[in-house]
């Protein structure tokens, strides 16, 4: 079999695999598990009143809540978080507010006599339901009770001993019903009559059902999302992904010619393979998860850019296409692996320290990084060799980089340091101003301060004056004149966000009804999220610890890989620069700081370290040349100049994906992508003008100290020698 035939078969195989992954991915996309933010529904986080419940108590409580939650949706999930928290996720709910109202706040349930003696507890109740019966032509509302076997015996004794007296049903020390016992009741079933209306019967029945739990629970956080809003988020995000992918592919083909075309084919395979993996591993896809996929598409070309830049350089040295491809992949491997591993470290920290939606982002980002490595190192390489076998050996098809202009970044470094210092200092000034004006360093979102946030999509674009005049008063009325009501608009949309103190379920229902009556809004496009201050404090701590852990892990990894603490120290300082610049914009522009703040900062850290490592890899390579080792300034300038095109192009491809996501994404995605764009620019700036010069300064400082130490030791020896001669005389 000749080489061309082998190449043809190889090309057909790659195209077939790509088509297969795309077909399976797109065809099975409807089977991907969607999170609540995409599917709509309700999410509640409860915390036990008992600070240290036993494992058996938690297990029993989760089991009972699971049974109740599955009554609303077969896909409902109840799971433990930490030692004393329980999360309930009910996707696809059509009336999430009703679910919240019916679940209420689980607590202790007791049946007591007139003297206060406890006769039964919630554990003795199997079920309670509201009903209606016809008594002589009159409809009466009732509550039907079913007891466990042991509960039936207790109830029989209780009713036999209390005929003619009330039996008090007490929930969390409050009497919710006190029916009079008409006769002794056996058989494990009973009815409570005399209920005024069906709503009261439903409320009491649901309280009895949810009260039958081993532990008393309090609501920490709840989130209600309309399914319609979720579907819109999916469609806009898919549109952003398609447009962004097309633009990145066009950019790669224009700039890198034939290699860019192979990278575009690999990107298509990458997208299909990611969809297949999401289905295979049953990853729950959230809105931040979609952002992670789209972002990783932009980052996926990074490995290809590094390789193709190397190939251009090898061709510029006069090497053949075949040898240039071999050398390009060989020389780029270490930078690609180191850069992607450090980004994976950031994704791992995000997953371990983040909340549910942040975990979703971290999962898809990590999957994307791994797949991009596979497609860049194997798929594009195979395609390039296939085209070579077909006779594509003209260097013009690959681009030739003959001369690399060396810029004096070392000479420019003080100006770069000063510019960055000014921005960072401005950030600290803004933090102080925020503390004085709003009482906090940042404009904390609910995730970081607690309360309720309601998003309403109106049928028209209301002005800020209309929002203040017409919308805010409704919220103040519902909350009893709460002075902390804050309203804001989502630019370019009809969406308004109103933040208040924590709303009760009754207040939430009242609010929704008033908004529907007053503005004829679609109730399915109203979402409300409650979060407690306790969770907020934990999220702040998680944000700090996530950053510290990520930095320490990266520091250790780079130290080991480069065998030089100065590379690791310069990397950490450059990363700290990127974070502080982003924080300055958060403070100055009063961007909301919430759970996505953690994901944003660590994404910037993971992305920026990738670019820095590429530069450091070139410095390490140049240091192997004895001539360049003598002049470290020239070594650094050459390394940055050699990687300059790569740094700019990778930043551009990622920036393209992020800005498209910002343009087409929903408000929660915009809150994430805007600071991310700042981080991308800051990361490119630091990897080009800060990181390498910092290594140069640290190295010179270390060399100066070594020289001073050597000089001091030499002087000490001479002094000792002179003293010895004097002693002999």
pLDDT at 429: 96
Q: Averaging pLDDT over each range in 63-67, 435-439, 504-508, which range is the top one?
A: 435-439
With 80 as the cut, is the pLDDT of residue 606 above it?
Answer: no
**Is 21 within the bounds of a domain?**
no
**Is 162 within the bounds of a domain?**
yes
pLDDT at 635: 92
Q: 573 and 664: one domain? A: yes
Rounded average pLDDT over 527-533 = 72
Cα 177 from chain centre: 45
Of 213-217, 241-245, 355-359, 710-714, which range is least confident? 355-359
**Is 50 within the bounds of a domain?**
no
Range of the structural domain that residue 666 is part of: 227-425+536-705
Share of the chain above pLDDT 90, in %: 21
**Is 700 within the bounds of a domain?**
yes
Q: 138 and 284: one domain? A: no
User: How many whole angstroms separate alpha carbon 164 and alpha carbon 173?
Assistant: 23
With 60 as the cut, is the pLDDT of residue 228 above it?
Answer: no
| Confidence band for 668, pLDDT divided at 50, 70 and 90 | low
Q: 220 and 306: one domain? A: no
With 90 as the cut, is the pLDDT of residue 250 above it?
Answer: yes
Q: 254 and 185: one domain? A: no
**Is 304 within the bounds of a domain?**
yes
Q: 564 and 669: one domain? A: yes
Last residue of one domain, picked from the residues 158, 191, 225: 225
Rounded average pLDDT over 149-153 = 91
With 70 as the cut, is the pLDDT of residue 537 above it?
Answer: no
Cα 435 from chain centre: 27
The pLDDT mean for the chain works out to: 83
**Joined tokens for residue 533:** 């201050």
pLDDT at 502: 78
Is 549 buried (19+), middle (13-18) or exposed (0-12) by CB count in 10 A?
middle
Last residue of one domain, picked from the residues 198, 225, 252: 225
**Is 379 within the bounds of a domain?**
yes
User: How many whole angstroms separate alpha carbon 491 and alpha carbon 464?
Assistant: 11
Q: 221 and 237: one domain? A: no
| Confidence band for 97, pLDDT divided at 50, 70 and 90 | low
Q: 461 and 563: one domain? A: no
User: How many whole angstroms separate alpha carbon 96 and alpha carbon 90?
Assistant: 9
**Is 219 within the bounds of a domain?**
yes
pLDDT at 25: 74
pLDDT at 473: 84
Confirm if 402 and 410 have CB atoms less than 8 A apart. Answer: no
* Domain CATH code at residue 132: 3.30.1360
Q: Could you tell me the CA-to-CA distances from 207 to 149, 306, 504, 572 in Å, in that order?
A: 21, 62, 16, 54
Q: 198 and 275: one domain? A: no
| Confidence band for 102, pLDDT divided at 50, 70 and 90 | low
Rounded average pLDDT over 417-446 = 90
Last residue of one domain, picked from the residues 225, 250, 281: 225
Annotate 631-663 with three-state secondary structure: CHHHHHHHHHHHHHHHHHHHHHHHHHHHHHHHH
| Confidence band for 533, pLDDT divided at 50, 70 and 90 | low
pLDDT at 103: 64
Q: 469 and 541: one domain? A: no
Which residues lie below 8 Å from residue 87, measured CB to CB, with a gap of 6+? 43, 44, 45, 46, 77, 78, 79, 80, 81, 356
**Is 154 within the bounds of a domain?**
yes
Which residues lie below 8 Å from residue 515, measured CB to CB, with a gap of 6+? 456, 474, 521, 523, 526
User: How many whole angstroms separate alpha carbon 299 and alpha carbon 371?
Assistant: 11
Question: DSSP of 289-309, one letter per residue?
Answer: HHHHHHHHHHHHHHHHHHHHH
With 70 as the cut, is the pLDDT of residue 501 above it?
Answer: yes
How long a stretch of residues is the chain? 729
What domain count does the chain have? 3
* Domain CATH code at residue 520: 3.30.70.600
pLDDT at 723: 75
**Joined tokens for residue 66:** 């699971």
With 90 as the cut, is the pLDDT of residue 156 above it?
Answer: yes
| Confidence band for 262, pLDDT divided at 50, 70 and 90 | very high
Of 25-34, 121-130, 153-162, 390-399, which range is least confident? 25-34
Of 265-274, 286-295, 362-371, 483-492, which range is least confident? 483-492
With 80 as the cut, is the pLDDT of residue 357 above it?
Answer: no
User: How many whole angstroms separate alpha carbon 93 and alpha carbon 77?
Assistant: 13
Rounded average pLDDT over 92-117 = 74
| Confidence band for 505, pLDDT divided at 50, 70 and 90 | confident
58: helix, strand or coil: helix
Q: 232 and 210: one domain? A: no
């Amino acid at each position: 079999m000749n080489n061309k035939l082998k190449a043809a078969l190889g090309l057909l195989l790659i195209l077939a695999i790509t088509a297969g992954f795309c077909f399976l991915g797109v065809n099975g996309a409807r089977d991907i598990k969607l999170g609540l933010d995409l599917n709509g529904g309700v999410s509640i986080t409860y915390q036990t009143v008992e600070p240290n419940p036993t494992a058996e108590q938690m297990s029993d409580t989760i089991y009972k809540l699971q049974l109740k939650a599955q009554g609303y949706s077969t896909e409902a999930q109840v799971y433990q978080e930490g030692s004393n928290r329980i999360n309930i996720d009910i996707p696809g709910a059509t009336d999430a507010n009703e679910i919240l109202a019916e679940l209420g706040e689980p607590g202790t349930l007791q049946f007591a006599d007139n003297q206060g003696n406890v006769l039964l507890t919630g554990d003795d109740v199997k079920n309670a339901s509201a009903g209606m019966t016809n008594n002589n032509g009159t409809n009466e509302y009732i509550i039907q009770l079913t007891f466990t076997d042991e509960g039936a015996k207790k109830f029989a004794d209780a009713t036999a001993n209390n005929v003619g007296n009330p039996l008090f049903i007490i929930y969390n020390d409050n009497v919710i019903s006190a029916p009079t016992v008409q006769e002794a009741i056996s058989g494990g079933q009973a009815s409570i009559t005399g209920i005024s209306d069906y709503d009261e019967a439903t409320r009491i029945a649901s309280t009895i059902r949810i009260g039958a739990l081993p532990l008393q629970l309090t609501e920490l956080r709840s989130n209600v999302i309309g399914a319609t809003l979720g579907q819109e988020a999916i469609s806009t995000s898919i549109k952003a992904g398609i447009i962004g992918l097309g633009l990145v592919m066009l950019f790669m083909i224009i700039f890198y010619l034939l290699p860019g075309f192979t990278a575009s084919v690999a990107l298509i395979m990458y997208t299909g393979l990611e969809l297949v993996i999401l289905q295979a591993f049953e990853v729950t896809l959230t809105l931040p998860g979609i952002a992670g996929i789209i972002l990783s598409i932009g980052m996926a070309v990074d490995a290809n850019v590094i390789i193709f830049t190397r190939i251009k350089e090898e061709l510029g040295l006069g090497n053949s296409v075949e040898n240039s491809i071999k050398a390009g992949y060989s020389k780029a491997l270490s930078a690609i692996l180191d850069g992607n591993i450090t980004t994976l470290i950031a994704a791992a920290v995000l997953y371990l320290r983040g909340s549910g939606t942040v975990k979703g982002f971290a999962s898809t980002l990590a999957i994307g990084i791994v797949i991009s490595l596979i497609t860049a190192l194997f798929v594009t390489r195979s395609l390039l060799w296939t085209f070579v076998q077909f006779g594509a050996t003209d260097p013009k098809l690959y681009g030739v980089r003959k001369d690399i202009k060396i810029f004096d970044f070392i000479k420019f470094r003080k100006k770069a340091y000063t510019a960055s210092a000014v921005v960072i200092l401005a950030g600290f000034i803004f933090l102080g101003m925020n503390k004085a004006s709003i009482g906090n360093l940042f404009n904390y979102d609910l995730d970081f301060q607690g309360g309720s946030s309601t998003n309403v999509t109106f049928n028209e674009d209301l002005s800020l004056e209309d929002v203040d005049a017409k919308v805010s008063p409704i919220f103040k009325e519902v909350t009893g004149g709460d002075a902390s009501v804050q309203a804001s608009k989502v630019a370019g949309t009809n969406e308004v966000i109103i933040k208040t103190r924590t709303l009760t379920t009754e207040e939430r229902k009242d609010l929704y009804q008033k908004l529907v009556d007053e503005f004829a809004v679609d109730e399915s496009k109203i979402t409300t999220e409650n979060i407690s201050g306790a969770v907020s404090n934990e999220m702040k701590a998680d944000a700090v610890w996530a950053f510290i852990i990520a930095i320490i892990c990266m520091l250790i990894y780079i130290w080991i890989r480069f065998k030089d603490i100065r590379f690791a120290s310069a990397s950490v300082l450059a990363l700290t620069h990127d974070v502080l610049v982003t924080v300055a914009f958060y403070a100055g522009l009063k961007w909301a700081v919430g759970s996505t703040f953690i994901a944003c900062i660590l994404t910037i850290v993971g992305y920026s370290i990738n670019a820095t490592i590429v530069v450091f890899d070139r410095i390490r390579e140049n240091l192997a040349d004895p001539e360049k080792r003598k002049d470290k300034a020239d070594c650094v300038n050459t390394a940055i100049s050699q990687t300059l095109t790569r740094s700019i192009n990778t930043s551009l491809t990622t920036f393209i994906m992020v800005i498209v996501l910002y343009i087409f994404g929903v408000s929660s995605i915009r809150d994430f992508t805007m600071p991310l764009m700042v981080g991308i620019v800051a990361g490119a700036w630091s990897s080009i003008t800060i990181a390498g010069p910092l290594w140069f300064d640290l190295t010179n400082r270390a060399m100066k100290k070594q020289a001073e130490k050597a000089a001091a030791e030499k002087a000490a020896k001479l002094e000792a020698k002179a003293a010895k001669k004097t002693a002999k005389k």
